[in-house]
Chains A and B, each alone.
Chain A
Amino acid sequence: MTTAVLPLDVPGIRRDFPALTTPFHGKPLIYLDSAVSSLTPLPVVERMSRYQSFEHTNVHRGVSTLSQEATDRFEEAREKVRAFINAPSVKQIVWTRGTTESINLVAQTFGRRNVHAGDEILLSAMEHHADIVPWQLLAEERGATLRVIPMNDDGELILDGLDDLINERTRLVGVTHVSNVLGTINPVKEIIARAHAKGVPVLVDGAQAVPHLHVDVVDLDADFYVFSGHKLSGPTGIGVLYGKRELLEAMPPWHGGGSMILSVTWEKTTYAPVPARFEAGTPPIAQAIGLGAAIDYVTALGLDRIAAHEHALLAYATERLQAIPGLRIIGTAREKASVISFVLDGIHPHDIGSILDHEGVVVRAGHHCAQPVMTRFQIPATTRASFAYFNTREDVDALVSGILKVQEIFQ
């Protein structure tokens, strides 16, 4: 039995986004680019503004009341992240600058300690550059090899050969939870279980998943789970690395400096326990508090309701786009989040993006920092529309009208 989900109050939500009611090229802004970065709702902006205006000082330093309160707010945000992904402990939530830094942190600490010459790192064919390049850098340094889990023409991972791909040389599996290009929702729980059966840990890139899905790192049994604030209605410059405690505690420090130490002498430094060990220097305090506010915001809306709304938009957009002659959707997996990539016969995505921009429709055009995905589908680039909880069917209609205008210009 499915439980009915109350619809979102989209007109009310839209009032939290001033950009949506401010003319853009003289037209209403149709923002269909949440996969690149979500708009920030006013309550999040106001929360960060309050901190900057009235509560600002450094954290974990000093004995002033102001310092203590800033530290409390900062650590409360960590607790909000913990609860949001159901992590067992706040000590497993490491603040980073974003998904990319989180992955680099794991590669440079866990990776450098555990990956040696002849070892393998297994990545899915739909990873974006942030989950490829850090591993390539590591592999080059250590003499290791990257291997790839292939995907089919629908943009679904082919898992038939996974048990052979994971072998005694595999040191880590890296997989995106939701593809930023194809929208595919990967069966990460199954992949993790199969990797664990061979004793191999799994890093899940959740950058595109957390805005759309309930993520429970315990249920998934993920070893590492990473995401960014700015795709979750929060600010840029803040991200999260979740890790299993025994893995984090076994990892050496990465960046050295203030806050990550227990004691320093000229002879020797002893390091703080996790997560402080990985948080050298003054952290992005306003951004962490802002991410906490963003989690409050989306939690209040309800991820179930967000998912239902976005799913309906995705279905509507898919139907309308498929009806356009010469348009081909790239990524037709059975399980998809609200991302549609497409190509138009004879028209390059950059030209589509420019003309749509002029119509007030903001989309992403390019390789989406996922060039191997483009190579897999033998295309140089795609146009991508991505939907959030504030989008409407009228936004989809505007996209369709814009595409028809592009085709008219290129006739």
Chain B
Amino acid sequence: MSDPRELYQQVIIEHNKKPRNFGDLEPCTHQAHGLNPLCGDDIVLKLVVEDGLVKDIRFQGHGCAISKASSSLMTVNVKGRTQAEAEVLVEQFRAMIRGTLDVEHQAHDLGRLTLFSGVKDLPSRVKCAVLPWATLHSALHGEDTTSTE
């Protein structure tokens, strides 16, 4: 990444300032608590999944712009999808951040989430971007908590 502006694009800054689907969700069918013990980023994710469809999803907590924007854009992209499709997004997002999915040359469903592809060049920030996705994975698998460690 030659310039931090490549990562901190306007969309990420904007989602950090005004995160979508931010707040509590009760009642819910799935929830998980995600924690990055190294830096203290903390997210509580709640979902309503009916008939295999993510009907609603919201998150609360605190973290950096990368983790907050990642959470916000995740909720936008997951809402209305099937649970199976959400799982595919989790895997593709993780692969993009790990650098094993080349979003420019390989097929994927990530859409605007490719905004985060620059994170792979910032190893210290990978966990920030991945935390909400790891939390989503835990929530969908009935695990109460997840940690990036």
Contact = CB atoms under 8 A, between A and B. Distances in A.
Nearest to B7: A354
Interface stretch (A36-44, A116-124, A342-350): A342-350
Contact of A381 (B1, B39, B122, B125): B39
Given A380-B62, A409-B5, A410-B65, A354 B40 contact: no
A350 B8 contact: no
Interface string B1-35: 10111011000010001000000000000000000
Contact of A366 (B4, B7, B39, B62): B39
Interface residues on A, range: 10 to 19
A358 interface: yes
Interface string A378-406: 00110000000000000000000000000
A231 interface: no
A46 interface: no
A355 B65 CA distance: 12
Nearest to B125: A354
Interface of A: 346-351, 354-355, 358, 365-367, 371, 374, 380-381, 409-410
Contact of B40 (A346, A347, A371, A409): A371
B13 A350 contact: no
A350 B5 contact: no
A351 B66 CA distance: 8
A341 B3 CA distance: 25
A410 B39 contact: no
B124 interface: yes
A350 B128 contact: yes
B56 interface: no
B38 interface: yes
A366 B38 contact: yes
Contact of B3 (A358, A374, A381): A358
A290 to B, nearest CB: 27
B101 interface: no
B8 A381 contact: no
18 contacts: A346-B17, A348-B63, A348-B68, A350-B63, A350-B125, A351-B8, A354-B7, A355-B8, A358-B1, A358-B3, A366-B38, A367-B39, A374-B40, A380-B62, A381-B40, A409-B8, A409-B13, A410-B8
